Amino acid sequence: MKKTIGEKIKELRTKQGLTLKDLSEKTNLSVSFLSQAERGLTSIAIHSLENIAEALGGELSYFFTPPKKHETKIMRSYEQEDFRIEKSRFIYYSLANDMDGKVLDPMLVVVLPGDKKSQINPYPHKGEEFVYVLEGILTVFIGDEEYQLYPGDSYHINSTIPHEWCNFTSKIVKLLSVNTPSVFSRK
C-alpha cells in the first residue's frame, strides 16, 4: 500500500516520540493544521512540507520524488514535469532542469479554485519568495494583511513573514514562483 504524505508525516513524528505540539513548536505550524495534514483533511504547501521534513530530520524527497534531472541547460516546455502533493490545491511545474547546488527555485504553480477562509493557515519558512501572477485572481495573506493580485501583479518578501496563497474564485490561478533556498537543491 502506498502511504499518503499525512501518513508519512505521522510515521516520522511518532518514530521520534514527538507529539503534535512538539512538531508545532519546531515548525511554527498550528497543532490543528498538523493534525488535519496527518489525517489528509487539508492541503499542505510544499514549503510547509519542507519545514516539517527539516523539523523531523528528514528530506523533502521522502514525501515524493523530485523532478528528474535533465542533461542540458535548456528546459523545453514539453519537458516540464508536474508534481502535486496528494489532496493539495496546488500543482507545481519545475522550470529548472538541474537543481544540484542551485539556490533559486523557479516554478509555475497552478492554484485550483475552491479555497475557503477556514482552510487558510499562513506559515513562515526560510529564504525569500517572489510571485508573479500570470492568470486569474490570487488572494495573498502576508502577515496580517490580505491582498488580491491580478495578472501582472507581483510580490517579493522575506519568507519568514507568515504568508499563504489562496484562490477564492471559480477559475484557476497561474503564477510564477521563485524561491530561495530551493526545496530541491542537492548540495
39: confidence class by pLDDT, cuts 50, 70, 90: confident
Q: Which residues contact 93 (CB under 8 A, 6 or more apart)?
A: 80, 81, 82, 107, 108, 109, 110
Neighbouring C-alpha atoms within 13 Å toward the C-beta of 52: 32
Give the domain ranges of the chain: 5-62, 77-180
Residue 84's pLDDT band (boundaries 50, 70, 90)?
A: low
Q: What is the pLDDT of residues 100-138, one digit of tens each?
A: 667 788 889 999 898 777 777 788 888 899 999 999 999
Residue 87 contacts by C-beta under 8 Å, 6 or more apart in sequence? 4, 40, 42, 43
- The sheet with strand 154-158 has its strands ordered as 82-83, 90-94, 105-111, 173-180, 128-135, 154-158
The CATH number given to 5-62 is: 1.10.260.40
Among 26, 43, 22, 56, smallest CA distance to 124 is for: 26
**pTM of the model as a whole:** 0.65
Q: Do domains 5-62 and 77-180 have the same CATH topology?
A: no
CATH class of 77-180: mainly beta
- Find, among 94, 99, 96, the residue nearest to 46 by Cα: 94
pLDDT digits (tens, 9 = 90+) for 2-22: 457 888 888 888 888 999 999
Q: Which amino acid is at 161?
A: I
